[in-house]
Amino acid sequence: MRSIIITIGDELLIGQTVDTNSAWIGAELSKLGFDVYRKVSIHDSKNDILETLGEVQGKAELVLVTGGLGPTSDDITKQTICEFFNSKLTINKDVLKMIEERMSRRGIPMNENNRRQAMVPDSCKVLFNAMGTAPGMLFENKETIFALMPGVPYEMKYIMTEHLIPLLKNRFSSQTIIHRNIMTYGVSESRLAEMLTEFEASLPEEIKLAYLPSTGINKLRLTAKGADRLALNGIVEEQVKKLYRIIPELIFSDEEKTFEMVIGELLMERNQTLSTAESCTGGKIAQMITSVPGSSAYFKGSVIAYDNDIKRELLMVPDEMLKKYGAVSKEVVESMAKGARKLLKSDYSVATSGIAGPDGGTDFKPVGTVWIAVSSEKGTVTESHLFGNDRNFNITRFSIAALNLIRKQVIGQ
């Protein structure tokens, strides 16, 4: 079953608004067994809308369109849709009543723009919108279902959840699509692909493997397609087990969880706590950890020891150590981790010191160098890495490497 997503709005094309709708819709359609094989953003103009609708008609079982349904004069989608489907705009009394009640509850007087929202093509099925004033619209034409929804994300999600998804479940049930995402860290995408050459070649025909790299992390996506969900789940699970046998040291999650989520779960299970002592990462690690709801149960706090005085005075790093080895060194970062663990009374503490760039590097310690230490009752372990020249990239890579070292220490890897 093929589907196409169209988003309408100049604000999407010029970068004023990020298109989060397509990502959410694509994920929901995939759960229903649809292949999303095209996503396109277009101008809010009559010619572009007509041309795009004409191109996709008959090429997919389902076309979902968001945007351009507002009450103002610059939203021309409804008029254009009428032309495409040979319809005319009429007042829908039920929609008008819903809008009037909504305005009354909010104490806002109705105006002509609000009334205009109740105008819908006479050939569509109205998809009522309890979250806003713009209704969704459903058309069927030449073996294609067209669904048009507002561009406001929470309004679109309401219409999808309350109207479209139930309809599609009843109408289409022949194919199941299952995605399983395995998160890996530690090698490049090319090296990972090399390690999995035989695995990929032996995959059952129902399953495809995709490599999805991001900053420092490679996501392996297994996609299974078929009619029997239970059987597909079994096939996918067997392939996940094979991956654990081939690359156990690289996998940190098989449920598309971030490092910070995985670490939080590990600490919660063990009733343990964590603190950070950050120099080059400037609080990035603490920010990532505290982005997880409930992190207050295991995260004690952070010292951003950017200046050497803070390293000396708060973390008790000896002055002679800083002078002898420099701030970016194994000795200093170990002392920082021990000092933070003692100061903040945590079970684990991670420390970072490095050269994020673009300046400050030397031949001995080039830009991109980082030392990371994790201290616990098991002892203190350190790692050194050399990344690139971009400051923001380095800070993120430093932080991810630190989170991975925490994870390994907690699980005893």
Among candidates 208, 229, 217, 265, which has minimal Cα distance to 32? Answer: 229
The HSE-up count of residue 77 (CA atoms within 13 Å, CB side) is 29
Here the CATH number for the domain that contains residue 108 is 3.40.980.10
- For residues 17 and 161, state if they share a domain: yes
Helix then strand then coil, in percent of the chain rounded to 5, is 40, 25, 35
Where is the domain boundary, 253, 286, 315? 253
- For residues 322 and 391, state if they share a domain: yes
CB 139 within 8 A of CB 56: no
Here the CATH number for the domain that contains residue 233 is 3.30.70.2860
Beta bridge partners of 223: 179, 208
Q: Is the pTM of this model over 0.75?
A: yes
- For residues 106 and 164, state if they share a domain: yes
Supply the range of the domain harboring residue 95.
2-171
Question: pLDDT tens digits for 26-77?
Answer: 999 988 889 899 999 999 899 999 999 999 999 999 999 999 887 665 568 8
- For residues 263 and 406, state if they share a domain: yes
CA distance 382 to 252: 19
- For residues 154 and 228, state if they share a domain: no
- For residues 125 and 187, state if they share a domain: no
Beta strands 348-354 and 119-121 are unpaired
Where is the domain boundary, 148, 171, 194? 171
- For residues 274 and 247, state if they share a domain: no
Residues of the chain with pLDDT under 50: none
What percent of the chain has a predicted confidence (pLDDT) above 90? 82
- For residues 324 and 360, state if they share a domain: yes
- For residues 166 and 184, state if they share a domain: no
- For residues 86 and 187, state if they share a domain: no
DSSP character string of 293-345 = TTGGGTEEEEEE--SHHHHHHTT---HHHHHHH-SSSHHHHHHHHHHHHHHHT
Q: Which pLDDT score is estimated for 176?
A: 83
Output phi, psi for 405, to 5 deg. -65, -35
Question: pLDDT tens digits for 93-133?
Answer: 999 998 888 888 889 888 888 888 889 999 999 999 999 88
Q: ∠ CA 287-289-295 to the nearest 5 degrees?
A: 120
CB 2 within 8 A of CB 144: no
Q: Which pLDDT score is estimated for 173?
A: 67
Q: How many domains does the chain have?
A: 3
- For residues 213 and 141, state if they share a domain: no
CB 256 within 8 A of CB 206: no
- For residues 163 and 14, state if they share a domain: yes
Here the CATH number for the domain that contains residue 285 is 3.90.950.20
Where is the domain boundary, 171, 200, 225? 171
Q: What is the DSSP letter of 187?
A: S
